[in-house]
Every structure is written in C-alpha cells, then in structure tokens.
A and B are shown apart, each in its own frame.
Chain A
Amino acid sequence: MLSIRAVDLVVIGGGPAGMAAALAAAEAGVEEIVLLERQESLGGILPQCIHNGFGLRYFKEELTGPEYAHRFMLELEKHSGIKVKTATMVVQVTADRQVVTTSAAEGLVCYQARAVILAMGCRERPRGAINIPGTRPAGIYTAGSLQYLMNIEGFLPGRTAVILGSGDIGLIMARRLTLEGIRVKAVLELMPYSNGLNRNVVQCLEDFNIPLYLSHTVTAIHGQKRVEKVSVAPVDAELKPLLEKEFDLTCDTLVLSVGLIPENELSLQAGVELDPATGGPVVDSYYHTTVEGIFACGNVAHVHDLVDDVSTESAIAGRAAAAYLRGEIKGNRWLPVKAGRNIRSVVPQRLVAGQTTPLYIRARFPERNALLHVGRGRVKRRIVSPGETIYYTVKPEDIDESAGYIGVSLEGGEGDD
C-alpha cells in the first residue's frame, strides 16, 4: 500500500506562483510545506525567458526571467519548513486534499494535506485546437516549446520562420529568432489588434522591421517532411479567411502563439468549479476555490500579462492558506462579480465583504476614454485593450451589499479605429 504523509500545506507547481505562495505561507507561520515541481528545477517558465522586462512592478527594477526566479529560490532556501520536491509529477488531487505524486526518486507517494494551493500554470494552445488545414510536417512549434529548445537546450530550430499570433511570447520569439539569425518573414494576427503588450510590439517587431499583419491568418500548411511554406489570407469582420486574397510565404518553421490555456485537469479532479471566461478556478478575495481548503493562484487561475502580478496574487493566496490553517477564514460572506459591457473576465470572481481586493479585469474589445464601473466605484480609462490587464482595487466603500453583486463594466467608450 501507499504510505500517506500528512503535511500542513501542499503547493502544486514550482513556478513563480508556487514559489511566491509557498514563501508567503511560510512567512505567515505555516510550518510544514511541500512544494511540488514536475521539472528538474524550480522557476517554471522563467528560466527560459532570458529577455528582460521582469520585476518592474514587484521589485521596482528590471530583471531577466532567470534572475527573477533566482530571487525567489534564494528566499525559499531560508525556510527549512519548505520541502522542495522537483522532478515530481502530481497525478491526482482529491477534494479531501490527498495529493498523489510520482517521481524517479521516490516512486508513488501520497500526501494528505490540510490545505492545497494549485499553481500549475498554463499550457499553449496547439495547432489542432485552431484546426489549421494542411499537412503535418516537422517544423511546427508552439512559441514556448521553441523558446525552451533555443534558450534551455541551445538548438537552432530552423532558418526562416513565420509566426502566427501576436501574444507576448510570439512577439518575444520574433526578436529572439531574429537575433539568432533566423529570418522572421511575418507575424500574423487574426484580430485587428495585437494581443501582446504594446511595449513588446515596439521592442520586438518595430525595432527589427518585422512586419505585423493584423487581421490575417494561416490558411494552409505545406510540406510533406518539413514545412516548406504556409498560405496566408486576410480575414473579414467575422474572422473568416478571404481565400481569394490568399498568398504564400516560404518558410521551414511555423511558430504558433495562439493562446494559453490554464492547466486545470487536476483542479477538475478535485471538483473545483472553473470560470469559462478565464479557464481557471472561480476564486474569492483570498484565492480560495469552491472546494474548501484548496486555493489557486497564478496562471492556473487566469493568464497574466506580467509575472510581477503572479507573485503579488500568489502571496495573497499563500497568506490566505496560512490563515485558513489557523481556522480564520471559514464561511466568509461574499458577493459575486457580474461582468457587464465590454468585460471578458474579472478575477477574483467572488469578493469577500469588507475586504480590499485587487482586481484583474480583461476587456472584450479595444476602446478609448471609457469609464470603468466597479460597484459604486468609477474611474476613467484612456485606452482599453484586450491584450492589457485593467487593474482596479476594490475598497469596502465601492461595495453595495444590498445589490447582491458587484457589477463591473466599461461605459461610454469610443470605438478604436
């Protein structure tokens, strides 16, 4: 039989979210923490993000991904109560907080935790999920796996590339490929606007004269053994390709940066309710999910623009787990957030009464000079874009408890042209 190890807190995932959560929980007095990571080392996606731009909000200085991760690793080492288990895969999580893991070092192990923090991050949408027609040759990579192959493994993956999708990883990889002498012929974006941060469009494409084709998509992949070319077409307002305007781009590599999906297979096993708008668990102001004693933070909860926000949010979850273990945060009254005009998602989805809660809001479409309504709160937003998080901190006075919910909407904006 499997031996069962009892612990206070299990944190699943040793990326920025899991590291910050474990650290905050330890600092808040949790004595026994197990931090589980499937890779050979901590850091999650950060070690492969060798570009800078990290830490501006959290550390007030600019760091690379590995540097950012290193700061947390050093802090973790100071806490003897945190047991880090790398190269360890979680295969099961139950609603009563049993966590089953496997590793070469220890085989199958089952932890019985008093609290669990889910911090598994996200994965990239693959080609099949967007159903690009054509052949299935070598040379089709998602941007993140390409980044791993280049920055961790040191491989040259191709010579000429086309990138589909202008999310941040796609933009960063356009620059990275160019710096390695790989010719990036184009970055294609289905939407009429980039899904990445504006600073990345400027620094990764414009500075290198890489053309960005908005409202374009790949309509076919060609090549039997290796990618030989892709067909590209503009799309109409319904995002349907205009095939009469199709043209070909020769390349040996197609890079896909077409979205990130929070990895919630384990959350579902545990019976955690997901929000269809984020793909992540429904959480309250404490990042407590709908299953008691299970918390979620970082990209598993919702995809973030900046790792800094992941760290901030995960520290809240870590402290909340500590409070939960002391019996402090049971049975809080909460109000649901209700997304109104031009709001795709809001995290947390449930606001605990009387709390000050930072919100992460995402818009559906770009607009200018809109008024953001959050309960009774009002604030003007000059530029709104689905690619950039809208921040708002809810204060107790914004909440009208008699309404039964907190409405969030963008009102009176002007269309983006």
Chain B
Amino acid sequence: MSTPEVDVLVVGAGVVGAALIRELSRYELKLLLVEKEVDVSFGTSKANSGIVHSGIHDQTGTLKAQLCVRGCQLFPELAAELGFLYKQNGAVVVARSREELVKLEKLAENGRANGVKGLSLLSREELRRLEPNLSAELAGGLLAPSGGIVVPFDLVFALTENAVANGAKLLVGTEVLGIKEEKDGFLVRTNRQPIRAKVIVNAAGLYGGEVAAMIGDHSIQLYARKGEEYLFDRKLEGLVRRTVFPLPSAISKGILVIPTVDGNIMIGPTAHRVDNDDDLGTSLAGWNEIYTEARKLVPALQPADLITAFAGLRAVGTTGDFLIAPSHVSPRFINAAGIESPGLTAAPAIAEYIVELIKDSGLKLRRKREFNPIRSVVRLRDLNPREQAALMQKDPAYGQIICRCEMVSAGEIRDAIRRGATTLDGVKLRTRSGMGRCQGGFCTPKIIRLLSDELGLPPERISKNGPGSELLFGRLREDQEETAKEEKQHA
C-alpha cells in the first residue's frame, strides 16, 4: 500500500477537526482528516448540548472568551452556506433571588467586556412577558440575543462534507497509533495505512493527551467530565423559545432548558468528572439532579413527555482555558486540546486561529479559486407542499416515508448513506430517522434493509455505531432451512 503524503493531517473528526478541515479546504493544500470511529462526530460532538453561546460566560482575556464571541458571530453566515440546522433564538440567564440579580449584572459587565452585543437586563415582569412558562419565582434575567442553537452533529456533517467537496480527504475507522518526526514532517502509523504529513493538528478530543504524547509532548493533561441530557417530545415545542440558563457555577454553566432546532425541549447537562473514557451511561442520580434544577426554571416539565436521554464526555484541560498552540516539541505539531464548552461555538473561530498558526509554521497557504462554500441537502419536512410535490415527482423515493415520527423519506436515507453514513446511528444523526417519539420502533428494520442494499452488505453486518454493535445475529433456523430447501430445488 502506498503511503499518502499530505500537507496537513487533522486527527479527530469532531467539531474542531471538522471546522478546521473545512477552513483549510479554502487553500491549495493536500488535506487529510482521520477519525478512529466509523463516522464523523461520533465522539464528544455527538452528545453536545448544541448551544451557540453569546460569549457572556467566559472570563475576559481568555482564549475561550475571544474565540467564543468570534465563533458566535460566524455562525449565521456559516449556516447560510452549509445549510445545517441553526437558529439564533437568543439566551436568557435568570436570577432566582435579589442576591442573584447582583451576580447577573456582573455577568452582563463581563459579557460587554468580551464584546457581546445587545445585552439587556430584564425585570421579573419583562422576563415573564418574554418567556411566560418560566417559573413565577424568578427575580429577573439577562437577555443575550446573539445566542443560538444548532444541531451539533449536523454541523460536523456539514463541515466535513463541504471540505470533502472542496478536495479534502476523510478516512474514518482510522486510528493514529504512533507518530515519528522526520526531516520535513511526520510519519504517522495507523491501524490502516501509514501517512506522511508536513503539519499535524491534534484535535483528538478526549485522546488529545495520548496523541500529543506520541511525539513526546507530555504537556497535555486532560480528564473527562460527563454531561447527561434528557430530551422531551416535540409536542412541547414553544414551551421556551430562548435557551434558559441559571447563573453559572464555578465549573459549568449549570443545568439549562434548551429548545432544540428540531422543536424538542432538552434539559441538562450534568458536569461530573469520570475516570473512564467510555463511560457514556446515564444515571438515576443524573436525572434527579437535572430534573430538580430544570423544574426550578420551567415548572411545567413532566417525565411522561420524555423520549430519550444520552450522555457525552467533555475533554477538560487543567488551565481552565483552551490549549491551542504549537507543541514545544515541534512547531509543525499543533495541539487543539481541552476544547470544552464553549468549544462548539468557538470551533469556526478556532479553525481561523489554527490556520494562522499553520501559516506561522512555514507552510505556504494559497487561496483556492474554485472553493465552493455551499453545501445543500434535501430535508423534506422543511419544504413547502409545492416543493415537496415537485421533488417527489422528480424522484419517487422522496415520497416513500420511512420514519413516520420525523417524516423522513427513503430518498433522504439513501442520500445520507451516499453522504457517508454506514451505520444506523449514522443514518439517524444525518436524517433524524429514529429520533422521534417512537425512537426507531417502526423504522429500524427498514433502515437496516436500506443500509444493507445501498452498502451491499448482508443485514447481519449492519451495526448501530460500528463493529461490535451489530443488530442481528443472522437468520432464524426455519428461514435458513427454507433457503436451503430452495437452493436444493434449484440444483
């Protein structure tokens, strides 16, 4: 097997790696993005809260504050170009008591110092008028109109797809196992083929410390902080329109009530350190903590409307700020580590920032004339009836609904597979099929079929999210016997 040679190798296809590879695809560069999971966004980014933060929370002068505010500004244009699910719904931070009102004013000052525009303090009455379903106990609020919401994995898919359309290469299921520094670059050993790269960007999330250690850089110390989230049925759409924050604690922005772009209400996240890198379970304690806190903000929330829960792990550094800099071992090895909240918001700005670091490393960056910033996908439920009818006339597969809860057609699922989905979760995250109130009860067998047909794999090879998570163990006995009988008859 030949060894591919690239200008920049990005390790990790979470939101940081995805935003970076898309930014780099504006330039005449040979680019490669590698991801150890079977799909992009399958790590920390998948379980993100999906909030585009205004930048009021981060301490003035930090990289977090600078890149969050810049990232938030970049989102509207990025969403227009890439067509991912984003909405500038605004955020309110609420005070529960008179004492907290003082803290709210401090938070507003901090936000203004960070350059956040449009902040305003709200009286109890103004807050209730804006969000009538908030608890009557609340004393006041701080409105940040630039805040938004985004579907985090959709953002990652959009960024990587656009990068690939602009010439970048993506290898999933490819884990970096070792890195050797050479005369003018690196030789990277993976579980698949080796790769030569002039510059490496370490965007490996929770595994950033291990990847840095491969070149002898032991400065990156990370730990995992778990966040559980609970999702409610879309019938609650409109319960709150803005993302509702309590006042922040020392380590997190607290338990939030989040309207999702798709119309669900989500509550969470917890913030607890865990020792295990694959501890993605939810817990009764987590639920109790989140539900208790969320009800203080929005009393109408009922457990009967829950449809699912999930958990994710944030990669947290030791400095309290993002760690984005060339390694002390090599200027051509750039770490992007400890990207906890507001990492998703900051990602587009982190990408710009790293491009400057790459320029500093000596690599020549020349703008690509044919760069196309636009990516478009068909989303049936976002079209008006006339557009839907026209689409179905052109391609009947868009008329065949597979996921009844979220109204996803066979055509969209086929598109998702051609866009890179190889698993049930890959299809689900790209199309929302199986994400609705029945949670895949009806559509799972049909999606297994579509994946099997489109990928040319037997159904028992189709998995939930990669090897080891296959859904079926083969065929039933009587089914096998029948097949054998038929074969005999043919012979």
| A131 with B439: CB separation less than 8 A | no
| A102 with B471: CB separation less than 8 A | no
Chain A residues with CB under 8 A of B304: 129
| B404 with A38: CB separation less than 8 A | yes
Name the residue of chain B whose CB is nearest to the CB of A220.
B281
Cα distance A226–B400 in the bound complex, in angstroms: 31
Name the residue of chain A whose CB is nearest to the CB of B279.
A135
Name the residue of chain B whose CB is nearest to the CB of A152.
B445
Q: A121-156: contact bitstring with B at CB < 8 Å (1 yes, 0 no)?
A: 001101111010111111100101100111011111
Indicate whether A237 reaches chain B with its CB closer than 8 angstroms: no
Nearest-neighbour CB distance to chain A for B460, whole angstroms, equals 8
Q: B386-412: contact bitstring with A at CB < 8 Å (1 yes, 0 no)?
A: 101100110011011100100101100
Name the residue of chain A whose CB is nearest to the CB of B285.
A133
| A145 with B396: CB separation less than 8 A | no
The segment from A71-79, A105-113, A310-318, A364-372 that touches chain B is A105-113
Indicate whether B442 reaches chain A with its CB closer than 8 angstroms: yes
Indicate whether A325 reaches chain B with its CB closer than 8 angstroms: no
Chain A residues with CB under 8 A of B469: 137-138, 225-226
Chain B residues with CB under 8 A of A203: none
Nearest-neighbour CB distance to chain A for B432, whole angstroms, equals 15
Cα distance A148–B479 in the bound complex, in angstroms: 14
Count chain A residues whose beta carbon lies closer than 8 angstroms to a beta carbon of B: 52
Chain A residues with CB under 8 A of B437: 123, 126
Cα distance A335–B386 in the bound complex, in angstroms: 45
Give residues of chain B (444-472) contacting chain A, Cβ–Cβ below 8 Å. 444-445, 449, 459-460, 463-472
Q: Choose among A126, A150, A268 the residue that contacts B441 (Cβ–Cβ < 8 A).
A: A126
| B308 with A108: CB separation less than 8 A | no
Q: A214-247: contact bitstring with B at CB < 8 Å (1 yes, 0 no)?
A: 0000011110111000000000000000000000
| B399 with A107: CB separation less than 8 A | yes
Give residues of chain A (71-112) contacting chain B, Cβ–Cβ below 8 Å. 87, 89, 91, 100, 102-108
| B281 with A135: CB separation less than 8 A | yes
| A154 with B479: CB separation less than 8 A | yes
Indicate whether B309 reaches chain A with its CB closer than 8 angstroms: yes
Give residues of chain A (1-39) contacting chain B, Cβ–Cβ below 8 Å. 1-2, 38
| A124 with B441: CB separation less than 8 A | yes
Q: Choose among A100, A145, A221 the residue that contacts B444 (Cβ–Cβ < 8 A).
A: A145
| A128 with B306: CB separation less than 8 A | yes
| B392 with A108: CB separation less than 8 A | yes
Indicate whether A157 reaches chain B with its CB closer than 8 angstroms: yes
Contact A224 to B476, CB < 8 A, known contacts A1-B386, A107-B396: no
Chain A residues with CB under 8 A of B214: none
Chain A residues with CB under 8 A of B442: 123, 145
Contacts A/B (CB < 8 Å), 16 sampled: A2-B386, A89-B404, A123-B437, A126-B438, A127-B439, A134-B283, A136-B310, A137-B469, A144-B441, A150-B476, A153-B449, A155-B479, A157-B471, A157-B473, A180-B476, A226-B470
What residues of chain B have their CB less than 8 Å away from a CB belonging to chain A?
A: 230-231, 235, 278, 280-284, 286-287, 303-304, 306-310, 385-386, 388-389, 392-393, 396-397, 399-401, 404, 407, 409-410, 437-442, 444-445, 449, 459-460, 463-479
> Besides the contacts A100-B385, A105-B396, what 6 more A-B pairs have beta carbons closer than 8 Å?
A103-B399, A123-B442, A126-B437, A128-B439, A156-B475, A181-B477
What residues of chain A have their CB less than 8 Å away from a CB belonging to chain B?
A: 1-2, 38, 87, 89, 91, 100, 102-108, 123-124, 126-129, 131, 133-139, 142, 144-145, 148-150, 152-159, 180-181, 219-222, 224-226, 268
